[in-house]
């Protein structure tokens, strides 16, 4: 009984102690010692000590469990987002690790996706952009200028050629920068004797005396522009930068300007720092003054980033595409200083320009120009111009204007001397139009070559205007009309025909529209058909007033007459197929007009100075007043024109010459007819045209 009570009391005491501080987790009940009363034995002191020791251990275990539970609770509060805290549960730790594992792999996959996307953007989606950016740093595309085609005459003699030239320049800034850089490497690398030796050798090769001798320039000038300062600290970047040459001429000092590549090679082969060579082609004209307005000139192309040149006038402009060809493009490797190191590959091949062969005979061209210059200076004229045409083909054999300029030196060019007067300028032609008035008369059927016209009393009144001849010619035929250049007879023919008869014939011969030459800036002229009541206009157009033409149109029309009424369109290009020819007048009528015009160069005619010994010459003079911009005509300024053909029996050549505002003489027979004589005499000789008239023999 006592043992049971003792055990019970012991249990109660234990329970009471436990209730005071409840423990969490699994608790193991302490072993209880059997009561002494039950066993009949009394407890010794050792037993009491053993019991107390066990109680103390139990208390410590309970205290440790309480601390552990508190720590676990604290972790739960801090890391609740990682999973549920489970204290000492093994399953709770596994759930926590699984969540952490998923989170880490999720982050890793996101980063991997971003890396893959970035790599795709750089290497696939936008690969070309970055490739181009990288290529720009180490490569550049250089234009390879094509060779411009030549312009030649009909005998393949060059009239315009492209000569290869070079310009060698020196950059004092680049030279000084290289000098200081080599000095810095030598000073900062004392432990590398091989490197120092190489740099010293390069430094020794930068002797300005060598460059001065090769470029034939003063060495003192080179030293002055480079301004090398041996006292600066080359390791101080700011000091070096301040010592480098700056200002005008610090990056460009011409050493050799526009020299042949062989001469430029003597300097560029030195491989001298700061020396650069630029190669290009320059247009050269072997016969500049006679051809300047015809061939034109070259000018800088504003649309070319590299400052290329293009044809700006004349044949150079008209056939720019054929002459220029296509420039090539080369990919070159460059260094950090943007200097070309070597060519990598040809991107676009260079296509040389084609040669253009003209119908011009350079011999006749020179003769024509010299005679125009001679007459222009003698007559103190404003200018003079002329053309020679092959009757059988329409080819232009010569075309020149004075005054001219040296097309190799454009500083001589002005707005006046660059004009191709024969093609660009329009004017009232005067009496050179009378053969076409006769052509309209014959074509009408109302007149024949022998028809007579009454010009008495040497004048005629039309709408309040008086039209006069120089003399009272009386009754004259068509030949006399042309020989004496009768205005009265021309007026009577025009008024007897329909209102549009004269202008219709003029247009039929090509007046009032551009010639097939299609020269840049060519004038078209103006032929206005008068109304029935406009009798004054009908009269004036019959003798060359009230209309505007170009000298090229006059040459083309006279060539058609000389060819027996067949229009051979003018051409300047030898190899081009010209437009088809067409008949515009009956052969018999055309040749009868040519025969009438022979009297103009014979005794009693207005152009006896145009006659050529041994040849029958047909032609017509035109002396007209110059228009006054303020209204009406000048009373003291004239224009002289002569158009002729040789030999008249079977015309081969047509020549048309004009002198503007002569001050020595005022009549075409005295000013421009001698020019025709001098030029055409040589032309007939050069082309071996047989005589068609006995040579004159001097009396013994």
Which residue numbers are catalytic?
431
Residues 6+ apart with CB under 8 A from 551: 385, 386, 387, 421, 422, 423, 425, 641, 656, 658
From 574, 158, 649, 153, select the one nearest 394 (Cα to Cα).
Answer: 574
Q: Rounded to 5 degrees, what angle do the CA atoms 296, 302, 308 make?
A: 70
* DSSP label at residue 306: T
Q: Residue 381, SS3?
A: coil
- Report yes or no: 293 and 419 within 8 Å, Cβ to Cβ: yes
Q: State the DSSP string of 233-300.
A: -TT-HHHHHHHS--STTSS-EEEEEEE-HHHHHHHHTT--TTEEEEEEEEEE-SSHHHHHHHH--EEE
| Residue 141 CB coordination number (10 Å) | 13
β-strand pairing of 309-311 with 298-300: antiparallel
* DSSP label at residue 21: S
Q: Residue 653, SS3?
A: strand
DSSP3 helix / strand / coil % (the chain, rounded to 5): 45, 20, 35
* DSSP label at residue 352: P
Give the Cα separation of 598 and 7 in Å (integer). Answer: 172
| Residue 594 CB coordination number (10 Å) | 22
Q: Rounded to 5 degrees, what angle do the CA atoms 468, 470, 472 make?
A: 80
From 683, 110, 638, select the one nearest 381 (Cα to Cα).
Answer: 638
Joined tokens for residue 208: 């300005």
- Report yes or no: 172 and 226 within 8 Å, Cβ to Cβ: yes
- Report yes or no: 365 and 399 within 8 Å, Cβ to Cβ: yes
Residues 6+ apart with CB under 8 A from 133: none
* DSSP label at residue 156: S
Give the Cα separation of 684 and 527 in Å (integer). Answer: 34
Joined tokens for residue 160: 């315009």
């Amino acid at each position: 009984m006592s043992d049971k009570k003792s055990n019970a009391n012991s249990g109660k005491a234990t329970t009471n102690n436990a209730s005071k501080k409840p423990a969490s987790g699994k608790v193991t009940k302490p072993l209880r010692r059997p009561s002494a009363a039950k066993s009949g034995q009394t407890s010794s002191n050792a037993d009491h000590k053993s019991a107390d020791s066990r109680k103390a251990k139990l208390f410590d275990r309970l205290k440790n469990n309480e601390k552990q539970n508190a720590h676990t609770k604290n972790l739960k509060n801090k890391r609740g987002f990682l999973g549920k805290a489970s204290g000492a549960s093994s399953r709770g730790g596994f759930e926590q690790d699984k969540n952490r594992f998923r989170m880490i792999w999720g982050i890793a996959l996101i980063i991997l996706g971003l890396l893959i996307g970035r790599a795709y953007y750089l290497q696939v989606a936008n690969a070309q952009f970055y490739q181009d950016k990288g290529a720009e740093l180490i490569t550049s595309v250089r234009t390879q200028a094509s060779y411009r085609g030549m312009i030649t005459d009909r005998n393949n003699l060059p009239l315009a050629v492209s000569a290869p030239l070079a310009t060698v320049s020196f950059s004092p800034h680049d030279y000084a920068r290289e000098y200081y850089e080599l000095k810095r490497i030598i000073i900062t690398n004392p432990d590398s004797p091989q490197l120092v030796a190489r740099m010293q050798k390069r430094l020794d090769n930068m002797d300005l005396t060598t460059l001065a001798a090769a470029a034939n320039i003063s060495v003192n000038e080179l030293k002055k522009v480079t301004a090398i300062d041996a006292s600066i600290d080359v390791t101080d970047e700011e000091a070096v930068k301040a010592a480098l040459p700056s200002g005008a001429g610090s990056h460009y000092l011409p050493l050799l300007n526009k020299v042949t590549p062989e001469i430029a090679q003597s300097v560029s082969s030195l491989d001298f720092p700061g020396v650069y060579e630029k190669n290009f082609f320059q247009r050269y004209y072997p016969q500049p003054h006679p051809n300047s307005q015809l061939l034109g000139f070259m000018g800088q192309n504003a649309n070319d980033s590299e400052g290329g040149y293009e044809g700006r006038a004349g044949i150079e402009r008209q056939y720019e595409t054929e002459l220029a060809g296509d420039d090539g493009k080369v990919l070159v490797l460059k260094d950090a200083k943007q200097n070309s190191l070597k060519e990598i590959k040809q991107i676009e091949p260079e296509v040389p320009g084609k040669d253009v062969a003209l119908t011009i005979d350079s011999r006749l061209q020179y003769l024509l120009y010299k005679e125009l210059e001679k007459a222009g200076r003698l007559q103190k004229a404003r200018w003079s111009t002329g053309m020679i045409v092959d009757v059988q083909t329409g080819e232009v054999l010569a075309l020149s204007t004075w005054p001219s300029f040296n097309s190799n030196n454009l500083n001589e060019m002005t707005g006046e001397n660059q004009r191709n007067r024969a093609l660009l300028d329009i004017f009232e032609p005067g009496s050179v139009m009378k053969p076409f008035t006769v052509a309209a008369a014959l074509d009408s059927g109302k007149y024949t070559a022998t028809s007579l016209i009454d010009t008495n009393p040497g004048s005629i009144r039309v709408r309040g205007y008086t039209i006069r001849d120089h003399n009272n010619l009386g009754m004259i035929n068509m030949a006399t009309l042309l020989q004496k250049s009768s205005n009265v007879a021309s007026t009577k023919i025009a008024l007897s025909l329909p209102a549009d008869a004269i202008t219709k014939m003029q247009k039929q011969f090509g007046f009032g529209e551009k010639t097939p030459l299609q020269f840049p800036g060519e004038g078209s002229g103006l032929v206005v058909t008068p109304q029935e009541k406009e009798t004054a206009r009908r009269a004036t157009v019959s003798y060359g007033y009230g209309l505007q033409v170009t000298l090229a149109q006059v040459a083309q029309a006279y060539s058609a007459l000389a060819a027996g009424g067949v229009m051979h369109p003018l051409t300047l290009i030898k190899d081009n197929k010209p437009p088809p020819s067409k008949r515009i007048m009956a052969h018999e009528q055309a040749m009868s007009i040519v025969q009438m015009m022979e009297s103009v160069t014979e005794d009693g005619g207005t152009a006896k100075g145009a006659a050529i010994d041994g040849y029958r010459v047909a032609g017509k003079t035109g002396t007209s007043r110059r228009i006054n911009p303020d209204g009406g005509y000048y009373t003291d300024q004239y224009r002289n024109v002569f158009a002729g053909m040789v030999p008249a029996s079977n015309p081969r050549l047509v020549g048309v010459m004009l002198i503007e505002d002569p001050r020595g003489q005022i009549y075409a027979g005295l000013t421009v007819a001698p020019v025709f004589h001098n030029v055409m005499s040589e032309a007939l000789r050069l082309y071996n045209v047989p005589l068609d008239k006995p040579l004159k023999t001097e009396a013994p």
